[in-house]
Amino acid sequence: MGLIFPACGTWCIFGNHWPMTTIRVKDNEPFDVALRRFKRTIEKLGLLNELRAREFYEKPTAERKRKKAAAIKRHLKRVRSQQLPQRLY
């Protein structure tokens, strides 16, 4: 058979929803293997992270503050990686 990826990261044209993620269970395939494939598909699409982010309402000011803190962290990490290592002698 093969995998079916209806939720391939594109917005549904006919409504305001993402299509459901499905996989096709192959002949003589154990359930836990199919479940593992399904979980891997969900992880690749980032649906669990989005679900956790949308679980509670976040005020716009809190969202801006979180994004600014993440940008500062990325900037400091980039600056640290570009600096020469300290001389240890």
Task: Give residue-wise pLDDT tens across range 44-66.
Answer: 998 889 889 999 999 999 999 99
Please give the average per-residue pLDDT across 55-84, as a whole number: 95
Q: Is the pTM of this model over 0.75?
A: no
Number of residues that this document lists for the chain: 89
Where do the structural domains in the chain lie, given as residue ranges? Answer: 1-45, 57-83
Pair 56, 38: CB distance under 8 Å: no
Express as a percent the part of the chain with pLDDT over 90.
Answer: 47
Q: How confident is the prediction for the chain on average, in pLDDT? A: 83
**Beta-strand runs (E) in 1-89:** none
